[in-house]
Chain A
Amino acid sequence: MSTVPLIHVVDDDLSMRNALLRLLGAAGFEARGYASTGEFLLQALPDRPGCLLLDLRLPGPSGLDLQAALRQQNIVLPVVFLTGHGNVDSSVRAMKAGAVDFLTKPVERDILLDAIRRALARDATQRTAREEAGRLHERFASLTRRERQVFDLVVAGKLNKQIADELGMAERTVKLIRAHVMAKLGAGSAAELGRLAEQLRQLSA
């Protein structure tokens, strides 16, 4: 998996698209161009950090349509809109739908690159959070049924003795399982376990 960010440029204007790809390339980014939303969706999306530089008006489904579609498919890719002629209405809709920025052509280099960087930064943050959550899920998934039961009760604030009573096992056994759980989840304390549990709950929400 490449960690170099990939910027997806969707613009139906060939000249504009080429210029953007060139600029992003010269600025040190890797970029890929698409002439329409359909073309973008047909390509397999590589698992790479990146963002979407999206024209608002496109033949067929518009940039806003694509933004909505990605969200529906739980594809999290920060979007920067770049349009030839925007209006208040479309910019509000774009921002509400989570766009990083809404730019109009012609766009200043610094403003564009800044927006791209912010989008990538957001992507990185989201990606890290997602990775963490993924790792957590993995670790959580490695717990045995008994370990999961113990974890739930520990997170619920029960004492070892109470847990032993509830599960009908020895308090020593509970202590042992608890040590396994903490080792598997990489937690050093009960408080840390609580934080992990909170993270899990948020992720699964």
Chain B
Amino acid sequence: MANITYIESNGQSTTINLNDGWSLMQGATANGIDGIVGECGGSCACATCHCYVDEARLGDLPAPSAGELDMLENVASERKPNSRLACQIKATAALEGLIIRLPETQE
């Protein structure tokens, strides 16, 4: 389990205790966080679960796959060095306390 904090573009902050192995996208859609859409269901095919990961914690995450890097080219809001797709980040104990910020728009 890991506590993950989602901060939406309007500043609203929600912390969710995620089961190990759940993606940060699944955690958001199953818990009513609107700033993540996840239209494709988690197959890295739509770029609507874009998030900005707390820069100090980037090193705790496995590096993005080639498929994720390709799909990040399609995000609707500004792509930054700490841009990731939430469907490709799975909760583990190493991510305890992680904060991700959500962009203004996903589509």
Asked if chains A and B come from one complex, the reply is: no
Q: B-side interface residues toward A, CB under 8 Å?
A: none
